[in-house]
Chain A
Amino acid sequence: MTIEEIQNEIIDEFSMFEDWEERYQYMIDLGKDLPLIEEQYKTDSNIIKGCQSKVWVHAEMQDDKIEFTADSDAIITKGIIAILIRVFSNQHPKDIIDANMDFIDQIGLKEHLSPTRANGLVSMIKQLKMYAIAYQTQLK
């Protein structure tokens, strides 16, 4: 699936929720299911800065696609990363770099997008895109 197709799928899922509670409960459950990063990659250099909770991300190139794994010590944060990873993992670096992130707004998580918010969704997106840029330059 393309990034856009996955985003639409997520928007569809979230459209079924009536209120914030259902949305958050879903994210919490996503967080619990997030495939964990291997312990060896939970290093300080893999921590995303700007988050009140700790977030680790590891990226690996498989063929010409990037595979992301991640973890966090806070469950809601983990749910948010789970969504991002679902969108970005197994995609070409260029598609990740070009991806439009408006869907965050459409699934009712706009409040997490403020650059000053302590959980730093913005930092997470930036970091994932940075990995894509790094791999893209390697590919060239």
Chain B
Amino acid sequence: MFNVDDIRKDFPILSRKVNGKPLVYFDNAATSQTPQQVIDVIVDYYSNYNANIHRGVHSLSQEATDKYEHARQKIQKHFNAKHAHEIIFTSGTTHGINLVANGFSSLLKKGDEIIVSALEHHSNIVPWQMLCERTGATLKVIPMNQDGELIISDFDNLLSDNTKLVFVNHISNALGTINPIEHIIKQAHLYGAAVLIDGAQSCPHIKPDVQALDVDFYVASAHKMCGPTGQGMLYGKESWLKKLPPYQGGGEMIAEVTFEKTTYADLPHKFEAGTPNICGGIAFGAALDYMNSIGFDTIAQYENELLEYATQELLNIDELTIYGTSQQKTSVISFNLDGIHPYDVGTILDKLGIAVRTGHHCAQPIMDFYCIPGTVRASFAFYNTKAEIDALVAGVKKAKMMLA
């Protein structure tokens, strides 16, 4: 049985105070908090078996290597990848996207087309712009509607034989919209285009099955799913990963080096140059264990309850607008008090110990679409409570009183 009071005991940070008030942490879409179970794994690594991997004859190195590779298997299993070597450890979603974008530099030519969505995070726009500059390919954008949903019929029309790549986030970080990636993947494949899905915002809430999705690339960040910062993963179909050239040169990624020619190591090491974040990879595995021990169905169901409750309570406040009103949404609420700058609301909430994000959420095109400078974004995780939502609602009312 899911008991949020028990769950909260796993997260030491949730009992601290901010500005003299109990912390209400509603910035989960930026970074989630870390349970003791994961903190323990990090402490254990540095206390007991910190060593470089894959190149030691000594026992410590072997132990670290085993744990690191075991974490890769956990990730493989979690995402249901066919092979462990289809999981590349990265520093995060941004790194994974850049790795793929860079790899496609040598595969694209003038006249080719890349499709991205209007709901993207900057980290999912800039690498493609750079790729287009390098290759002469052009960027096409799937537009969005007032509810913050992609207009899928327009996507179908954008597809052509020139389409080589499609990049869409699974869930929008600014609005919480769940995008119909099953359809997008299927349609793109009809034209032979590869699809990369940015799972930064989906993985904290749902468990994607990369084989069932038949997706070509899928990226995620550990720090949004109870793991450490600076750690993430790229899933790529074996055939694609073999086709892409390496991203960075260095140790770990080579089979043989002479000054004339280097042969690259096999997957996954071809894409893992240099000493990785060993502890981060192992802790990522522990974070998946933790979330799976609660269960993603349980998590999704509870978070949905929080979303519904918060939406209802916030909408009771006059002159409050919620942006992102799709029926297909995760526990993210982006809102503004009419005529009041989100930064002002965020500042008052912070004084009350309530952590939200304000601004454009690295998704300026979405803000431009709504003609607003930004929003206040409250994003809920499975360790949040309805009482905390009550505190948020009271805080927003207070901010309104002070600022109006």
**B347 on the A face (CB < 8 A):** yes
B207 to chain A, nearest CB (A): 34
Nearest CB of B to A17, in Å:
13
Provide the residues of chain A in CB contact with B343, threshold 8 Å.
52-53, 74, 76-77, 118-119
CA distance A74 to B347 in the complex (A): 11
Number of residues in B with C-beta < 8 Å to the partner? 14
Chain B residues whose CB sits within 8 angstroms of the CB of A76 once the complex forms: 343-344, 347, 403
Whether B341 is near chain A, meaning CB under 8 Å from some CB there, is: yes
Instruction: Kindly count the residue-residue contacts between A and B in the assembled complex, taking CB atoms under 8 Å apart.
Output: 42
Which residues of A lie under 8 Å from residue B19 when comparing CB positions? 20
Q: Contact check, B359 vs A24: say whether CB atoms are below 8 A apart.
A: no
Interface size on A, residues (CB 8 A): 15
Give bound CA distance, A53 to B360, whole Å.
11
Check: A25 CB closer than 8 A to any chain B CB.
Answer: yes
Given known pairs A54-B373, A74-B341, A76-B344, the reply for A25 and B358 (CB within 8 Å) is no
Q: Does A87 touch B at the CB level, under 8 Å?
A: no
Q: Which of B349-404 contact A (CB under 8 A)?
A: 351, 358-359, 373-374, 402-403
Among B340, B348, B358, the residue within 8 A (CB) of A52 is B358
How far is it, in angstroms, between the C-alpha of A74 and the C-alpha of B343 when the chains are bound?
Answer: 7
CB distance from A121 to the nearest CB of B (A): 12
Tell yes or no: A48 within 8 A of B by CB. no
A53 CA to B358 CA, complexed, in Å:
10
Contact across chains for A21 and B402 when beta carbons are under 8 A apart: yes
The interface of chain B, by Cβ under 8 A from chain A, is 19, 340-341, 343-344, 347-348, 351, 358-359, 373-374, 402-403
**Residues in A lying within 8 Å of B, measured CB to CB:** 20-21, 24-25, 28, 52-54, 73-77, 118-119
Q: Which 5 A-B pairs have the closest CB atoms?
A: A74-B341, A74-B343, A53-B343, A76-B344, A74-B344
